[in-house]
Every structure is written in structure tokens, then in C-alpha cells.
Amino acid sequence: MNCKQWLLAAALLSLNAPAAPNWIAPGATVCVEVAVETSPDDPRLGVFVKVPDGGMLPVPFAVPQAYSEDGKPLETLVFGYDKQDGVGVLFAEPPGGGKVHLYFSPSQKPPVKPASDTLFPSLVLFTRSGKGALDIAKSLQSRYPYGQDACFDRWKWCGSMVNPFGPDDHYSLWFVGGFILEKSERIWFATISDEGSEVLIDGRKVASWTGVHTRKKGAKGEHGAFVQLDKGLHRFDYFQFELTGKQEAQLVWKRPGVETKTGLPEMLSGFAKSGSGKIEGVRYKDGRVCGTIVLHNQRGIEQPISYFWFGERPVNLFSVTAQTPGDAKATLEFGKGQKLKTPTATWLAVGRPDELSVPVALTVENAAGTTRVTRWLRSPWTPSKASIEKPEDRLAYRRAFLCMVNAVPPPGDPCADWAPDLWAVLVELMEPYKGGPLLKRLFEDGFATLQKRPDWQRWKLEDRFIESLRLQKDGDRLLAWIARFEKTERDSARKFHWREERVNALLLDLARPDAAARELAALKENASGAEQAQIVLLRTGDVARALGKHDEALKSYRDAEENYRARHRAVGRRAVAAAKGASVARFKLPDAPKGEEWKTYTVRNASMYKTILSQLEQNAFDESLQTLRTWENESPTGKMEGEYTMAEARVYRALGDSRRAVNALDVYVRNTVMTAELADAMKLEAECLADLNETARRRALARDFLKRFPGHPYGDQMEEMAR
């Protein structure tokens, strides 16, 4: 039995089920509760509500009938009938407004046009994709139910430069709506279109511009006619079709005494509006309840919130909300077993707007049973572009990625089927120390998939993951992942990176300089080339400094400085020689005189410190880490003083890694008798210890400060910390 047969059988069985309390229509199987939110501008415009289907309504056809709260039937018409999109229902507003019950009964045939047909909606737009033709557009209005097999929704005006519900080529379109005149008027109505179009006012054809053409020969409203209209409500129907190229559908008018600056007709305005209804609940005759899926963006339009485009195709961000009764359990399913037991989620769909069609199923369970409905993530038109410069956009997309990985329960691989475009966006979004829960699932359950990604993508994600592990303060786990990355790495330079990372972790994360010294020996053995030799000198200095070996640390840092400057002098000589065509021997590096380089680098250190503080004020964390690395290479002897260490600690604290900040400051404070920065360093270390809730260490440090700096301006704060 296929899905449709099952649904039909369920619907037929429910006909014989005991009626739920207050069930007005015995033959109906589904009741949709609608609250009338706004009244129509004229009773003939009724109240319009779009009821999504996707398996919620009976099959093969659903026949609606509206009832007031006191059980009286209301005039009901179907405007829009598409099993994938939903059913548009227009009903007469009940006296006094309030709630309306829409009952849907199963039928083997489409709904039959009621004998009374006085209602029409304003303003609703229908488009049917496929063959574009004027007779197809007009058939949307001539056959009941109106708008069969067309996508539809309410619209704000009678004009569009796109197909809002699908591809911009090969479709047929129908606008239906009304306007109210305050007095009798003789008005020129015209159409501006690409391709053919036709206009009816109160059922009378007033403008016809058939055939395949552009807007050029009708841009001034040439294709139209004068119509004498009485005061009051008037209906218009606008039909248009599109083949290829540009698309346009505009109903325009010229009214007496209304002149535009250009003399051209203006777009029809002052539309009268139907009332609006809000779905508040869906229940079945057998007691089950159903939910509805809302895909609105911030403007209330059914389209993605925004998109990023870093790969071959755009990645669109959707917001998905399941509206369900309070006592029912909701599950969202995004295909291939991806499920979230939550009523809200954000999701990413890859593709151009006219390509998107990603199913989202909502399962709702209560004591009476389970129901399931499906909608499709799609984009009526191109959404707004997200900005990589906006933190809120980066966070929104990372949250969507987290929803996607959480939809695959462990130990399933959450990223096995991801398109390259998703990876391209993810890598761009990853910031220092961000995305820990997301990266945890990716690496724990998607490790094999990650190994297949290009090196530059994988390396960045690995670095971000290691940063997230630092925040967990689990040294064993941190070292285990460093070892795993080293073992599985194919690139020799990257293997060396992980050996260096182990030394850094032992120094800055675990504060174990003895263990770091042992790992340093392996680092030296595996170093090759000038860059790795430079790293060895820097880490040798760091280990010696942490062990309190001041002279040994200073020598390593000075060697690293000279190594770095010598390499850059050579690079500079080669660059200038290549640019000028001169002999390398003629080039003289404009350095400070021998013995006075310390002045240059003292100024440079101060400049670096101010740069980092400025970057932190702007939350430019990636840039601040880059500045630290540059500073470390240019002037590592600055680590023996205070500015570099203070800058390093401030960067790590701003990133939430107060443990690294404390360990860096602790090495400096323990090995320093007196410098201009010592008091600031001790105060900052005490604040970082407070972040970590290390009360005993904070108190001891504060008491030490008070002994070293009696009467210092920080005294009151440190006395408070010493308590």
C-alpha cells in the first residue's frame, strides 16, 4: 500500500470513527480552527486563509466548509488548490468575528462550485509553472476550484517583475483583487507586460495585449481602455504568461485629476483587502491533532532568511517553526533520517532559488495517535545576502549547522552527505574559540568524512576544534586529540605543527614545563628548514622561561630574533634586487645603527601592544592572534618584559580562555622581581583566577601583591580579592 492509499484508507476509516466532542460536520475528517484576525474592507471580500496540506488534508480531494462558532454554515469558496502548496479558503466573516471552524471532507472528485458565489479575495496571486500561455492563465479563474495546481499566496499590489513561487521562465499568472472608489469615475486601465496579458474589471475585458512581446510598445499604458465605474467595490482579474527573458506583469491606471510627473500611468493602488485568518489548531475526527510548519523570514515572507555564496552554489538559511497543540509531541524530519524533537529549528539548503525543493516533515503525536505533514524548503525569489562581517549572521549559520548535526543521532556521521558548498560556508564561518558543540560532533562522529576534505579546510577546522577543547579544561582529552591529528596527518609540516602544539599545550594549558621540556627534544629532532628552526628556538625559550632559567631563555629568544631578522634581510635584498635589477651586494638594509636596535624594537613593542588592544575593542580576535604571532617572531625577547605577556593574556581572556591567560601571566610574575608592567600583570592574573573560580590561588596572589606594592592604586581591589 503506497502513501496515498494509506491516507485514503485512514480517511475512510475515520468516517466511521466516533465523532469528537462538538464535531459539527459528521462527514468531515479534519477540522482546522481559524481565528479571524482582521475583518475585510467589504463583506464581499471575505476572510482568506491558506491551509497547508502536505498530507494533512483528506485524499484524493478535500472539500472545505466553514462554520461559525455557534455552528452556522458560512459561504465558502476555494481559491487555490495544490496538494503540495495547500488549499486557499475564502469564507464569509461571521457576525462579530471570532473563530471559524473549517471542516474538510474527503471526496473522490474535486470540490463543486457552490450555487452562491459572491465572494472574491483581495489580493491573491497565482502562478502555474510549465507551459506559459494566456489561456492557461485564464483557466485558473474559469475552472473551480479556482487556481487548481498553482502556487499562490496573498500579495500587496497588482504587479510583479518575477515569478515569486518558482522559476522566472515558462509560467502562467493570475492576479485577483479589488479596489474601492469614493465616487463615480471614468478611468483608463492598461497593462504593461512581458509576454501577453489581459485585464478584466468586474468581469468585463478592458485591456488585452496578447502574443509574445516585451514591455517596450506598452510602457506608456497604450494597451488599455476607459471604463466608467460607479462608487464602491470593484473586482479586477489580471492574466499574464511568461516564456523566456525578462518578465513583467503590471496593472496600471490613469484617473481624472491624478497626474504623474512623467505623464505615464501609475500602478493601481488603494486595494481593498480581504480579512485574514490565523490557523490556531488542527484536529482529526478520531482525536488526533496535527501541526503546521511555518517557514517565514523576519518580514513574514515564506522564503529563506538569507544566503551565503562561497562555493559553486548558494547556501540558504531557513527558519522552521512547527505550530502544534501544547500537549502534543513534535518531531521535525529533514529527510534521510535527520530528525529533531523540537518545534523550532534553522536549516541550510544548497541551491539557487529556482532549484530548491527540500522536504520537511512534521510528526505530531498525542494519546489518540500520530499525524504527519510535509512542506518544502524553497525560495520564491533571491533572499537577502548574509554578511561575513556581521557576528549575528555568522552565529545564525553556525546554529543552523549545529541543528543539522544534532539531527543525526550519535554515532551516526552527521556530515557524510554534505555538499562541498556547505563545507565552504562552514570554514568561512569558523572563528577562534567558536563552535565547540558543532565541532565536537563533526570530529567525534564524522572524522572519516573530515579526512577527505581538502587540507586547507580540514586544517582550519582542526585548529578551531583544538581551541574549543582548551576551554573544556580536560588536559588528557586535549593531548589525545593532538596525538590523533599527528598520527593521521599526511603532510610533514603539519605533523611538525602538532608536535609544537603539544609543547604549547603542556606549557599554556596544563602548566607542565617539565613534560614540555621532554616533548621539546622530539620537536628539535624533527625540525627541518629555517621556519621550523625558528619555532624550535621560540619554544626552547618558552620552556626555559617557564622553568625559571632566565639566561637560557634570553639566549634562545635572542637567537630567534637574529634568525628572523637575518631571514627577512635576505628576503628584502632579493626583493629589491629583483625590482631594481641591481646586484644584491649593493643593497643596504636601512636598520638602526648597531647597538641601538633595542630602541627600534622598544617602539615596535609598544606599537604592537596598542594594535592588539585596538583589535580586541573591535572583537577582531583572528587579527589579534595574527598580531601576536608576528610580534613573537619579530621580538621574542619582549616575552621577558611585560607588554607581550599582558597582550597575550588579554587576547586569551577575551576569547574566554582564562586558563591560558593565567598560565602565561604566572610564568611572568614568578620570574619577575620588578618591572613597570608587573602590577598590571598581577592584577590581570587575579581577575583571570576569579574567572576560573580558583579562590585560593586568587587570594594568595592578592596578598603577594599587597606585600610587593603597599599603597598602590590597585590596593583596594586587591584587598577585596584577598578576602
Q: What is the pLDDT of residues 167-223, one digit of tens each?
A: 889 999 999 999 999 999 999 999 999 999 999 999 999 999 999 999 999 998 999
More confident: 586 or 714: 714
Kindly state whether residues 561 and 651 are assigned to the same domain.
Answer: no
Q: What is the mean pLDDT of residues 597-620?
A: 83
Judge if 210 and 137 occupy the same domain: yes
CA angle at 95 for the pair 90 and 99, rounded to the nearest 5°: 60
Task: Tell me what pLDDT residue 301 has.
Answer: 56
Residues shown for the chain: 723
Residue 533 to residue 544: CA distance in whole angstroms: 17
- Determine the average pLDDT of the residues in 462-468: 98
**94 and 150 both lie in a single domain:** yes
Whether residues 108 and 194 fall in one domain? yes
Domain containing 517: what range?
473-591
216-225, 376-385, 596-605, 701-710: range with lowest mean pLDDT: 596-605
Domain assignment of residue 176, yes or no: yes
Cross-strand bridge partners of residue 185: 229
CATH number of the domain enclosing 236 = 2.60.120.380
- In whole angstroms, give the CA distance from residue 517 to residue 628: 23
The residue ranking higher by pLDDT, 297 or 107, is: 107
Of residues 425, 465, 473, 427, the one with CA closest to residue 445: 465
Q: Is the pLDDT of residue 525 over 50?
A: yes
How does pLDDT run across 627-649, given as a tens digit for each residue?
Answer: 999 999 999 998 988 899 999 99
Examine residue 533 and state whether it is found in any structural domain, yes or no.
Answer: yes
What tens digit of pLDDT does each residue of 678-693 get? 999 999 999 999 999 9
Burial track 513-542 (b if 16+ CB lie within 10 A, e otherwise):
bebbbebbeebeeebeeeebbbbbbbbbbb
Q: What is the CATH number of the domain that holds 653?
A: 1.25.40.10
Instruction: Output the average pLDDT for the chain.
Output: 89
User: Where does 361-474 have alpha helices with state H?
Assistant: 391-406, 420-429, 436-445, 447-450, 455-472
Instruction: Indicate whether 278 belongs to any domain.
Output: no
State whether the Cα torsion 157-163-169-175 is positive or negative. Answer: negative
Domain count across the chain: 3
Final residue belonging to a domain, choices 272, 292, 322: 272
How far are the Cα atoms of 523, 623, 636 from residue 633, in angstroms, in the given order? 18, 16, 6
Do 106 and 69 lie in one domain? The reply is yes
Q: Are β-strands 76-82 and 339-340 bridged in parallel, bridged antiparallel, or unpaired?
A: unpaired
- Based on the domain organization, do 47 and 151 belong to the same domain? yes
Is pLDDT above 80 for 474?
yes
**How many whole angstroms separate alpha carbon 331 and alpha carbon 345?**
11
One domain, residues 482 and 542? yes
Same domain, 641 and 504: no
Say yes or no: 499 and 530 in one domain: yes
For residue 324, tell me if it sits in a domain.
no
Same domain, 585 and 612: no
Strand blocks (E) in 158-274: 159-160, 171-181, 185-194, 197-201, 204-209, 224-229, 232-242, 248-254, 266-267, 271-272
In a domain, 135, yes or no: yes
Chosen domain end from 216, 239, 272: 272
Which residue among 272, 291, 321 closes a domain?
272
Distance, CA of 477 to CA of 466 (rounded, Å):
10
Residue 696 lies in a domain: yes
pLDDT of residue 257: 66
In a domain? residue 300: no
Q: Of 288, 297, 375, which Cα lies nearest the Cα of 325?
A: 288
CB neighbourhood size of 244 (10 A): 11
Least confident of 90-94, 483-487, 523-527, 674-678: 674-678
643 in the same domain as 571: no
Q: What is the pLDDT of residues 245-267, one digit of tens each?
A: 999 999 999 987 665 555 678 88
The pLDDT of residue 304 is: 82
Do 198 and 246 belong together in one domain?
yes
In a domain, 462, yes or no: no
